[in-house]
Amino acid sequence: MTMYKFNTVAMIGLGYIGLPTATVLASRGVKVIGVDVNQHAVDTINRGQVHIVEPDLDGLVHHVVKEGNLVARTTPQEADAFIIAVPTPFMDGHKPDLSYIEAAARAIAPVLRQGNLIILESTSPVGATEQLAGWLAEYRTDLSFPQQAGDAADIQLAYCPERVLPGHVLRELVENDRIVGGMTTKAAEMAADLYQIFVRGECLLTDSRTAEMAKLTENSFRDVNIAFANELSLISDKLGINVWELIELANRHPRVNILKPGPGVGGHCIAVDPWFIVDSAPKEARIIRTAREVNDNKPHHVIEQVARAADRFKNPVIACLGLSFKADIDDLRESPAMDIVADLAERDLGRMLVVEPHIDKLPNKLEGKVEFSNAEEAIEQADIVLLLVDHKQFKRVRREKLQTRVVIDTRGFFWSR
């Protein structure tokens, strides 16, 4: 049974997490004020359109804006609850950069009132929610915060990480279990009531530090496991073993489940979050740090493989299949495939034909350096075929075409028993 009511919620940050969350809340009848410093994003949303790509989001945004339940603005206004979903990149030396959270604190401080709940959703190092509460207490000396008054504080704060998979955000927002970490018990209970407006999964209550660490742990778990697979691919190359066959066989063990090697780990989370743990506990986080290094090194290994293959030809044609950071999406940011292609182009190894079915033209970084092509044409002309992303479109590639070419298959896409 819910105790706390939230009629208006302000979402600070309308990016890949903030906008879908704001939209789903609004679709449940909550009045949502979306806040973003990006005027273009605000204008786009207020027209009922989207500035990011996520399946089915456009239709839902259109609907909630038309109904008047979602309004975007560049500055916050009063609300019952504030959810902060701003970026937390890292700075030099892999140190977390909390400046966007600090800016959000500055922006909401003037409009806070007694009884408010503030939820931090941005992936953050352990202690960030307490830090946020500290900043707010400096700006608003007239209000009390959990570090001063516990459950009786005027303002309550909680940390509730998102864990949705890009490409499945609208479904996972509703279905996934949610970790709700309060700075106080009351904060956790309030936040759980808010999430229960749209979450069908379970809300699991804990404290804010455990919740912060849980988010980092989930992505580090995946990073460490991918690193194990990537390390196996290097060892197998050295020992003349087919890593895909090796993993398939080992995975027949009832308690072994090895992930897939690839050209490296991309995206905005898995390659970043583990560093927040390393930064907080550098001496202790040894496997986590090494996993990051192993995964970051994988693109160099692929580049060396291609360079060695290219040495065997005079002016080879190299077909590169895929640029995005993982299969069946159009997101080229933080993509190892992009880095590999850009590096190979710089080395001038031969003619490079690049295929990415999810975009219409080459990204600026590659413009003029490689040729944009389609899979069939590129493979037809190629001496070397480099498979970087396992897009489903590449399933149509005719295997016999590959037999006369050097194939470097970073995802085991063309391999089968």
Taking the C-alpha atoms of residue 306 and residue 348, their distance in angstroms, rounded to an integer, is 12
**Binding string, residues 212-251; x marks residues near ligand SAJ by CB under 6 A:** ------xx--x---x-------------------------
Cβ-Cβ contacts under 8 Å for 327 (sequence gap 6 or more): 389, 390, 391, 392
Q: Near ligand SAJ by CB under 6 A, which window of 58-66, 67-75, 260-268, 306-314?
A: 260-268
Question: Between 61 and 269, whose beta carbon lies closer to ligand SAJ?
Answer: 269
Residue 326 in contact with ligand SAJ, rule: CB under 6 A = yes
Please select the residue that binds ligand SAJ; options are 52, 84, 128, 265, rule is CB under 6 A.
265
Please select the residue that binds ligand SAJ; options are 13, 267, 299, 316, rule is CB under 6 A.
267
Of the residues 186, 215, 298, 326, only one is catalytic, namely 215
**Binding string, residues 270-289; x marks residues near ligand SAJ by CB under 6 A:** x-------------------
Of the residues 160, 269, 320, 326, only one is catalytic, namely 269
Residue 299 in contact with ligand SAJ, rule: CB under 6 A = no
Q: Near ligand SAJ by CB under 6 A, which window of 39-47, 80-88, 156-164, 350-358?
A: 156-164
Amino acid at 324: S
Please select the residue that binds ligand SAJ; options are 269, 353, 366, 379, rule is CB under 6 A.
269
Give the β-pairing of 317-321 and 203-207.
unpaired
Long-range contacts of 130-135 (CB under 8 A, 24+ apart): 130/183, 130/208, 130/209, 131/98, 131/101, 132/84, 132/101, 132/105, 132/157, 133/157, 133/183, 135/102, 135/105, 135/106, 135/109
**Binding string, residues 346-385; x marks residues near ligand SAJ by CB under 6 A:** ----------------------------------------
Active site annotation includes 215: yes
Active site annotation includes 160: no
Taking the C-alpha atoms of residue 13 and residue 268, their distance in angstroms, rounded to an integer, is 16
121's tokens: 């959703």
84 forms bridges with which residues in the sheet? 12, 120
Residue 301 in contact with ligand SAJ, rule: CB under 6 A = no
Q: Near ligand SAJ by CB under 6 A, which window of 56-64, 184-192, 233-241, 258-266?
A: 258-266
Give the β-pairing of 117-120 and 31-35.
unpaired
Interactions with ligand SAJ, residue window 105-124 (CB under 6 A) = 123
For the CA atoms of 102, 181, 285, 337, what is the dihedral angle to 10 degrees?
Answer: -70
Long-range contacts of 150-153 (CB under 8 A, 24+ apart): 150/184, 151/184, 151/185, 151/186, 153/184
**Binding string, residues 157-196; x marks residues near ligand SAJ by CB under 6 A:** -----xxxxx------------------------------
Taking the C-alpha atoms of residue 397 and residue 388, their distance in angstroms, rounded to an integer, is 14
Question: Between 48 and 167, whose beta carbon lies closer to ligand SAJ?
Answer: 167
Closest CA relative to residue 217, chosen from 155, 176, 269, 156? 269
Which residues are part of the catalytic machinery? 215, 269
Q: Rule CB under 6 A: which residues touch ligand SAJ? A: 123, 162-166, 218-219, 222, 226, 259-260, 262, 265-267, 269-270, 325-326
